[in-house]
Amino acid sequence: MDFVASLGLILPELILSLTGLVLLLVAAWAGDKASSAISVAGCVALGACFFLVARTVCAGASGPDTVAFFGQFRADAFAGFAKLMIYAASGAALVVAPAFFGRTGQMKAEYPVLILFATVGMSLMVSAGDLLTLYIGLEMNSLSAYVLAAFLRNDSRSSEAGLKYFVLGALASGILLFGMSLTYGFTGTTSFEGIRAAVGDGLNGGTLFGLVFVFAGLAFKISAVPFHMWTPDVYEGAPTPVTAFFASAPKVAAVALATRVAIEAFGSQADAWRQVVIFAALASIVVGALGAIGQSNIKRLLAYSSINNVGFILIGLACATPKGVSALLVYLAIYVAMTVGSFVAVLMMRAEDGTPIEGIADLAGLSRTRPALAWCLAMLMFSLAGIPPLFGFWGKFVVFQAAVQANLVALAAIGIAASVIGAFYYIKIVKIMFFDEPADTIRGKSDWAHWALLAISAIVVSPLGYLLTAWLGKLADGAAAALFLLA
Amino acid sequence: MEGLPILSLMLLVPMVGAAACLFSGDKAARAIALAATLINLALGIALWVNFDIGGPQWQFTERAPIFAGFSWALGIDGIALMLIVLSVFLMPICILASASIDKRVGEYMAAFLFMETLMIGVFAAQDLYLFYIFFEAGLIPMYLIIGIWGGQNRIYAAYKFFLYTLLGSVLMLIAMLWMVNEAGTTDIPTLMAYDFPVKAQTWLWLAFFASFAVKMPMWPVHTWLPDAHVQAPTAGSVILAGVLLKMGGYGFIRFSLPMFPEASSQLMWVIFALSMIAVVVTSLIALVQHDMKKLIAYSSVAHMAIVTVGLFSFNVQGLEGSMIVMLSHGLVSGALFLCVGVIYDRLHTREIDRYGGLAINMPKYALFFMLFTMASIGLPGTSGFVGEFLSLAGIYQVSSWVAFVCTTGIILGAAYMLYLYRRIAFGEQKNADAAAMPDLSWREWLMLGPIAAAVLWMGVYPESFLAPMRADIQALDARLARAAPEGDARLTINKTAPAKAAAEPAAHEGAH
């Protein structure tokens, strides 16, 4: 594998990095006036990368041709599938930002640049073939994310969110790094391939410790219980476009990363980590569902909802089969559509003067004052609850199908029974919007970009989404096969 | 009709109507809804007329593998045909009954039409997962119907309905996933002939039972029903009682019995015990109700218990009887809810004591109400008699005790229905406002007349309804034969009264 071929494989990352650097210079000279132009440029770069990656995903790229830099980096279909979701979610985060920040004149030119750098980090994460690539990608994403969380400088909640995220994120990175060092110490290598070879005939105590610590660090990043405590606070405090970003793109990246570590590096020892994953999955489902019930802020509610969803995603990982990974990817894709849609709807909750509204009580009677918004949000809520015929059901369906096929029937039964608890708070939102008397505080107008994003996600979660299942399933199967081919 | 995808069309028409209603004004929405349901009624009649009795078991089949892992497969046998006809028959009546709805008419009609699509989908689905999607999706419109247009306690009722039924059906989903994994197909007719290992059957049966028992509803998971009924608007109650409850019975006859015959026979005592309790307990509860709708709701639970014992009697009489009880109950309880709706629209109370002596000022209404009361009791000549008689005759062959206890339900049924009728229609006109209510309008005639005709038709000449189902029920009986309970129940009968057990079923068989 020569250098040129390697550079070709990281072309999307190169494009994003260079665009980010150039736009950073533009931002430095042109100032905040240029922020919208920079956002557009960022979107274009993301779109270009999207189409570049889409090719490899459709072709189901796998095997040695996709390994760049001597195993450090993998541009296979699995990474590609995750990248498509990441780029789409990042693009959405760029689209919704100007209206939110612009109202108070806080739209800084750094915002799109930071999103781009975070995206580069996430791209590296999902393509990592080595613990060090993994760590670099993770930190690159995290550092941008800390700044983004605190982006509203004169809002104390935003600063608090940034600080909390930073302190706890640093702790998690420390745990992860400790786990990685143990793994390195006991296996003598940082490459996933090497680790797999080293643990092929059983784990020794030290590697097991390393594995547990690595998983703990990753659990923090995907906000799986018991490492979820930061999520509601950060989601609530961060500016809403940033929250939408946190709930979608980095989550995809972290889940894909965790999957790659689990399958590629420790795939032969699935029994060792499966119990950890099963515990985290069930705990996330239950805690996410119970925690959400008492919330009065919609962003906090969606934070718990994302914890809940991670639980279902982890059930797919617990299968440790190609079918399970494919189900996980399908779930992630639907989850991204639902999350972006929900947060766009939250962004559209504005008072007459444009002030954002986040209280769940303010949604009261929305179906009579803003029927279109209310119906879209209701569809998203039923979809998140996993009620057919909405598309959210399909995500849960494939995950549980994979679990049953992997003989984890008990896990599937407990998980799906616990999902009923979660259904309660989703239908509570519908109840507030449809059954209660109108509060009529949400009156602000929204621009076409918001409506377009909301409409796209509403169409995806509508029963029409089922027409995508065959195609989505094929892509996800190809991506999962690519991952298992390497493993 | 060859080649025309009539079932897909029946799903499409209300879907399009629902979308149109959502974006149109009040008046237009009513017209669109009525038109869509009438078109579907016409299609349903076409379906019945073109159904080839004695032809292939599955007719009007369509198959399009457009999804991952499952396909758009539709098709009906006689059982599904009759339930579809029941649904499309009740729908225009429900739309007519919704004249008193005055808020958010467009959304209301859209929810009802969407509901119709899903009901037809449940009965027509030939793919296991497609069935589940239709089965479960009904939660959304019903949740909205109860919650938006219901009475005072609507929100509690809506939550209860939603969460109860959801918990029931998610376990069924896991069972379905396992079954498909084991049998390697999602095709319902194939699965109906697949022999699952007996040990697994028990678990699968219990998972399906969790879902169908809630939908049915069986005692003790019936408590959502009275709440949902009382709070739902009239048309909502009609659909709930008329068609949605039948999904549980349909589930048993389509899935539990043919797919898990051994487990059905092992666990038959669960059904019998719960049904016997239901018949007696809910009938007694119905006796003491002050709210008309609650009374009819409890009577529904009792009637559904007769359905379940009939289904699990493992013989042709029981199965045929259960199907007829389901159809009859769909008509009769629907009609009774409409009767309640008629006077509720006038006085806005469901309190029984607020009425009295309506036979004086509303004689035509009293006549209809009398007919449906009698049909609910099971008077010969009405549809109720045919079904209940056959069911009880069927169950008597299995266990005379179950038959005995369930028959007391008929007597108690007569008690609470006649008591209800006496308090509402007879006696003196103690409330001036109730005495001043006008008799039926032409719209109400249009609603009650067709149901009354159907009830009498089914009572006098049930053959029309039994004929399409006969072959399917015989096929089911043949499938069940290997697991039919020869054992305990029959043995005890033989020991205690050998002469009677031999003579009685024969006598019953001669009787109809």
**A221, A209 contact by CB (below 8 A):** no
> Which of chain B's residues have a Cβ under 8 Å away from the Cβ of A473?
68-69
Q: How far apart are CA A237 and CA B471, in angstroms?
A: 66
CB-based contact A416 B174, cutoff 8 Å? yes
Length of chain B, in residues: 512
A397 shares contact with chain B (CB less than 8 Å): yes
Give, in order, the Cα–Cα distances in Å from A456 to each of A47, A462, B4, B67, B186: 16, 10, 33, 20, 31
Residues in chain A: 487
Alpha-carbon dihedral angle through residues B208, B211, B213, B216, given to the nearest 10 degrees: -120
Q: Which chain B residues are Cβ-neighbours of A423 within 8 angstroms? A: 162-163, 166
**Residue A424 forms contact with B (CB below 8 Å):** yes
Upstream peptide bond of A389 is cis (omega within 30 degrees of 0): yes
- Which burial class, exposed, middle or buried, applies to B347 when counting CB atoms under 10 A from its CB (0-12, 13-18, 19+)? middle
A23 and A37 Cβ atoms separated by less than 8 Å: no
Could you write out the DSSP letters of every residue in A252-303? HHHHHHHHHIIIIITGGGHHHHHHHHHHHHHHHHHHHHHHHHT--BHHHHHH
**Which residues numbered 342-371 in A keep a CB inside 8 Å of some CB on B?**
367-368
pLDDT of residue B495: 53
pLDDT at B511: 44
For chain A, list residues with pLDDT below 70.
1, 486-487
Q: Taking CB atoms and an 8 Å limit, are B181 and A368 in contact across chains? A: no
| B228 three-state secondary structure | helix
Cα gap B64→A335, rounded to integer Å: 27
Buried/exposed B176-205: b ≥16 CB within 10 Å, e otherwise? bbbbbeebeebbbbebbeeebeeeebbbbb
User: Which residues in chain B have their CB less than 8 angstroms from residue A402's CB?
Assistant: none
The answer on pLDDT for B403 being more than 80 is yes
Instruction: Test A413 with B181 for CB contact under 8 angstroms.
Output: no
Residue of B129, B174, B186 to mutate for A, most A C-beta atoms under 10 A: B174
The answer to whether A401 contacts chain B (CB < 8 Å) is yes
Q: Residue B351's beta-bridge partner residues?
A: B291
- Give residue B503's pLDDT: 47
A157 part of contact set with chain B, CB < 8 Å = no
- The whole-angstrom separation of Cα B173 and Cα B335 is 34
* B510: confidence class by pLDDT, cuts 50, 70, 90: very low
Q: Using 50, 70 and 90 to split pLDDT, how confident is the model at B486?
A: low
Supply A418's token pair. 């616990």
Contacts of B149 in chain A (CB under 8 A): none
- Please judge whether A435 and B129 are an interchain contact, meaning their C-beta atoms are less than 8 angstroms apart: no
State how far residue B120 is from chain A, nearest Cα, in angstroms.
14
Q: What is the pLDDT of residue A21?
A: 95
* Beta carbons of A427 and B159 less than 8 Å apart: yes
Cis amide bond preceding B220, omega within 30: yes
Identify which of A389, A401, A417 has the shortest CB distance to residue B170: A417
pLDDT computed for residue A23 by the predictor: 94
Would you state the pLDDT for residue B147? 85
A466 at interface of B, judged by CB pairs closer than 8 A: yes
Candidates A214, A231, A213; CA nearest to A222 is A231
B458 has a pLDDT exceeding 80: yes
pLDDT tens track for B374-388:
999 888 888 888 889
User: How many Å lie between the alpha carbon of A396 and the closest alpha carbon of chain B?
Assistant: 11
Look at phi and psi of residue B429 and say left if phi exceeds 0, alpha if psi is from -120 to 50, else beta.
beta
- A433 vs A455: CA distance, rounded Å: 18
Calculate how close chain B gets to A294, using CA atoms only, in Å.
16
Q: What percent of chain B has pLDDT over 70?
A: 94
Residue A423 forms contact with B (CB below 8 Å): yes
What is the model's pLDDT at position B507?
45
Q: Is A437 on the interface with B (CB under 8 A)?
A: no
For residue A413, the chain B residues in CB contact (below 8 A) are 171, 174
The SS3 of residue B52 is coil
Strand partners, A67: A74
A404 touches B: beta carbon within 8 Å: yes
Distance CA B149, CA B294 (A): 17
Least confident of A86-90, B118-122, B222-226, B370-374: B222-226
- Residues of chain A found within 8 Å of residue B133, distances taken between Cβ atoms: 388-389, 393
A393–B133: do the CB atoms touch at under 8 Å?
Answer: yes
Contact B177 A424 (CB under 8 A): no
- The answer to whether B441 touches B340, Cβ cutoff 8 Å, is no
Give B143's contacts in chain A (Cβ within 8 Å).
427, 430
Return the pLDDT at B2.
Answer: 52
Which of A285, A435, A468 should we substitute to test contact with B (largest number of B Cβ atoms within 10 Å)? A435
Q: What is the radius of gyration, based on Cα positions, of chain B?
A: 22
Q: Which residues of B touch A400 (CB under 8 A)?
A: 173-174, 177
Cβ <8 Å between B140 and A417 = no
What's the first-to-final CA gap in chain B, in angstroms?
35
| Neighboring chain A residues of B132 at a CB cutoff of 8 Å | 388
The answer to whether the CB of B412 falls within 8 A of the CB of B287 is yes
Contact between chains at B177 and A412 (C-beta distance less than 8 A): yes
Instruction: Return the closest-CA partner of residue A277 out of A222, A332, A237, A329.
Output: A222
- The arithmetic mean of pLDDT across residues B157-185, rounded, is 88
Closest approach of B323 to chain A, Cα-based (Å): 28
Q: Which residues of B fall within a CB distance of 8 Å from A466?
A: 67
Show residues of chain B in contact with A389, CB under 8 Å: 133-134, 137
| Structural tokens at position B361 | 């000022």
Model confidence at B425, pLDDT cuts 50, 70, 90, reads: confident
* Extended beta strands in A160-238, E state: none
Alpha-carbon span B152 to B135, nearest angstrom: 28
Strand B59-64, strand A73-74: pairing: unpaired
How far off is chain A from B112, nearest CA to CA, in Å? 16
**CA B493 centroid distance within chain:** 32
Q: How close, in Å, is residue A120 to chain B by CA atoms?
A: 33
- Which pLDDT score is estimated for B496? 54
Q: How far apart are the first and last CA of chain A?
A: 19
Q: Which of A397-406, A472-481, B332-341, B482-491 is predicted least confidently? A: B482-491
Nearest to B177 among A389, A393, A401 (CB): A401
pLDDT at B506: 46
| DSSP track, B383-448 | HHHHHHHHHHHHHHTT-HHHHHHHHHHHHHHHHHHHHHHHHHHSS----HHHHT-----HHHHHHH
When CB atoms are compared, the residue of B147, B174, B181 closest to A413 is B174
| Placement of tokens 């939408």 in the chain | A244
Separation between Cα atoms, residue B321 and residue B302, nearest integer Å: 15
Q: What is the pLDDT of residue A203?
A: 83
Q: How far is A108 from chain B (nearest CA, A)?
A: 41
- In this prediction the pTM is 0.91
Residues in A closer than 8 angstroms to B178, CB to CB, are: 404, 409
A469/B136 CB distance under 8 A: no
Residue B171 has its nearest CB partner, among A389, A417, A423, at A417
Q: Which of A404, A423, A470 sits opposite B177 (nearest CB)?
A: A404
Region label for B275, one of left (φ > 0), alpha (ψ between -120 and 50) or beta (otherwise): alpha
Q: Say whether residue A472 is in contact with chain B using an 8 A CB cutoff.
A: yes
Which H or E element spans position B334?
helix B316-347
Q: For residues A274 and A98, what is the distance between their CA atoms, to the nearest angstrom?
A: 43
User: In B43-106, at which residue ranges do the beta strands (DSSP E only) sit?
Assistant: 59-64, 72-76
B187 in helix, strand or coil? strand
When scoring A376, A387, A396 by the number of chain B Cβ atoms within 10 A, the one with the most, hence best to mutate, is: A387
CB proximity A372 to B under 8 Å? no
- Per mean pLDDT, which of A330-344, B58-72, B283-297, B467-481 is the most reliable? A330-344
